[in-house]
Structure 1
Amino acid sequence: MAILSTAIAGALVLMTNQVSAAGDIERRLVAGIVAENVLVEAMASPAPPDLGTETGVEQMGGTDWAWSRVTAETPVESMVRISVDVREEGGEQVIRSLTAFKAVQ
């Protein structure tokens, strides 16, 4: 009986860890979609992006996601670097970060 209860307890811990990991994967996936959307908006715009930081909040997957987009000069005059960080609104930890380069005239 003791062996059975130990095995059941171990199985419950394993299942709990798997559920927690699945939730973390989903959270990173949704944050990645938000980051991609913000980056695509900047890349698809025909106008060159303003240098500096822009912030916003998007709701996706039942969560409010705070994003920041930083556009900075690069050593190549005809290119800018666009970096996007996404975190849960009110959170400190960056869940997803993406960077791309865009040609400007």
Structure 2
Amino acid sequence: MTPRRPRGFTLLETLVALAILAIALSAAFRAMGVTTQSSGELRERLIGDWVAENRLAELRATGAWPNPGTNEGTADQAGRSYRWREEVKNTANPLFRRVDVAVFGPDSGDHAIARLSGYVARPLQ
């Protein structure tokens, strides 16, 4: 009768399996972290777009005729405060002005999270 071989895994096989599992899990957690970070940045950019659109809509709705130059201000959106900077420029048509709005997030420093350009028309008299 031949001796029976014990069933089961050796210690070395178990350690190799655990090492492979640890590497796979760390890669999965890293991927989840990157996805979460990307989602937060996308949210900030979307809110920045809303702030810029609101600023252009406000200029159009009030019939404002801003002077050429740079204007700055803040806007509250989604429970946070965002800075905006608009550059007003003359156009070839004296009845229109170009407005370039840049929006800066609470944590973005001087890096704009959104930019939008639009035109305002001089109110007819």
Q: Same fold (TM over 0.5)?
A: yes
**Letter of the 2:74 counterpart:** V
Q: Shift of the alpha carbon at 1:62? A: 3.0
- State the identity %: 30
Q: How does 1:71-90 map to 2 (within 5 A)?
A: 71-89=88-106
Which of 53, 59, 77 matches 2:70?
53
Partner of 1:7: 24
Structure holding more strand per residue: 1
SS of the residue corresponding to residue 77 of structure 1 reads coil
1:40 aligns with 2:57: yes
**Letter of the 2:58 counterpart:** E
Which is worse superposed, 70-79 or 5-14? 70-79
Q: How many corresponding residue pairs?
A: 105
Unaligned runs of 5+ in 1: none
Name the larger-Rg structure: 2
Query: Contact 1:57 / 1:89 at 8 angstroms: preserved in 2?
Result: no
- The normalised TM-score by structure 1 is 0.90
Query: Contact 2:44 / 2:105 at 8 angstroms: preserved in 1?
Result: no
Q: Distance in 1 between matches of 2:81 and 2:98?
A: 26
**Letter of the 1:103 counterpart:** A
Which is worse superposed, 52-61 or 33-42? 52-61
- The normalised TM-score by structure 2 is 0.76
SS of the residue corresponding to residue 21 of structure 2 reads helix
Q: Distance in 2 between matches of 1:89 and 1:74?
A: 32
Query: Contact 1:35 / 1:84 at 8 angstroms: preserved in 2?
Result: yes
The superposition leaves residues 28-82 of structure 1 with CA deviations (integer Å, 9 ceiling, x where unpaired) of 0111111111111112222422322221111222322110122110122221101
CA RMSD of aligned residues (A): 1.5
Q: Shift of the alpha carbon at 1:16? A: 0.3
Partner of 2:114: 96
